[in-house]
Amino acid sequence: MLKVSLCASILAMLQSQLFTKTRREAPSDEVTRNATLLIRGGFINKEMAGVYSFLPLGLRVLRKIEDIIREEMDKIGGQEVFLSSLQNPETWKKTKRWADEDTDIWLKTKSKFGGEYGLAFTHEEPLALLMTGHISSYRDLPVYIYQFQTKFRDEKRPKSGILRGREFVMKDLYSFCRNEAQHKAFYEKAKQAYEAIFNRAGIGERTFITFASGGSFSKYSHEFQTLADSGEDTIYLDVKRRIAVNKEVMTAEVLSDLKIKEKDLVEKKAIEVGNIFSLGTRFSEAFGLLYLDEKGEKHPVVMGSYGIGPGRLMGTIVEVFADERGIVWPEPVAPFDCHLIEISGSGTSVKKRAERIAAKLERGASVLYDDRDLRAGEKFADADLIGIPYQVIVSEKGEAGKTVEVKQRATGETKIISEEALISQGTYRAFNS
């Protein structure tokens, strides 16, 4: 992280030293709100269609989202690993998911020394194979393994910004259980963990468990869909029960299964921010992932998979909360706690006061300090575009009374607060007290 010393032992990020710059104009080749604003704000850079690099501001947001996810995965017993992206074709041939006619999203590469490899789009196969060396007895179960890792998918027309790309980070968790009952118990824990993640990320109220196709693994899978006008999916929502059905599986049989009345449903657009699947024994049987029970009898391990794309979640937050001025980050995932904006005028006393406040605030909060030599209007426009929850404005107006103006980005509300209260209580408490 780029930081510059303000005094002997206190550090804060100076905006003048941030190598990324904001852009006034929207990229001509982007059609989504998330990509347009994240590029304009200096959070990401587009390398090619469906491929984005995360710059300092964007990486801070991504890491905060990953930390929330990691904490909730650890709470339910997850153990973190980091598996390889390069894949052995022979591994995937065992489940008939290597050939392009069977799986059309593979990105593959050939070595100049011979041999073909895949760039992983998921990890059921390699992890099931790996676990054959670690699971042999009922005493070894259950096991829950997860990772944050770059995935690759050959999307035909990636036009959704960081919501759907050819290269992206995914948190994928896989459960290994003795039987269906043990699997179902963990599956419910995973549901609750996902709800906690979306609540902590600020989108819980508008995110709903949605019944979707289970594919070849089970009758239903569960998606977590966030209401958004720009969403690619159509869901039918029972607001009171907080459950929904994906349009793809919406039938009379499904409504009967779920005891949902059609009159109680409303049609909504939504973005899928997570999904969980029961995998049964398909992969364990393919790789001989078996265990011995108490009687010495062999059984295939029952598996499940649970995915969230941190970048996709980041893009969804932008789609949902942004306004006409720019991004509006919820506090738990914002790149910084506050944006300190120095409006110096012609004197140096304001600058010195701003430096002092930035140094003291940094002790208990993360601060982006706009020390640039720009007009006030330019600084305010950039602050609104970047979207940090609180803007602390230090100007000549507050010199005599040692006060600052604090603006809440989400509501636009402003308050005059004393320096003492700001530093002793922190921005959030001082503003909301």
Task: Report CA-CA distances (Å) from 409 to 57, 139, 330.
Answer: 17, 53, 10
State the Rg of the chain over Cα: 25
- The domain defined by 4-24+336-432 folds into Rossmann fold (3.40.50)
pLDDT given for residue 345 in this prediction? 67
Q: Which residues of the chain have pLDDT under 70?
A: 1-11, 215-217, 345-347
Indicate the CATH number for domain 33-321.
3.30.930.10
pLDDT given for residue 247 in this prediction? 96
pLDDT digits (tens, 9 = 90+) for 338-380: 999 999 865 688 999 999 999 998 788 899 999 999 999 999 9
pLDDT given for residue 400 in this prediction? 81
CATH 3.30.930.10 intervals, the chain = 33-321
CATH 3.40.50.800 intervals, the chain = 4-24+336-432
pLDDT given for residue 158 in this prediction? 85
pLDDT digits (tens, 9 = 90+) for 369-428: 999 999 999 999 999 999 999 999 999 888 888 999 999 999 999 999 999 999 999 999
User: Which residue matches tokens 């994240």?
Assistant: 38
pLDDT given for residue 164 in this prediction? 92
pLDDT given for residue 1 in this prediction? 42
pLDDT given for residue 346 in this prediction? 57
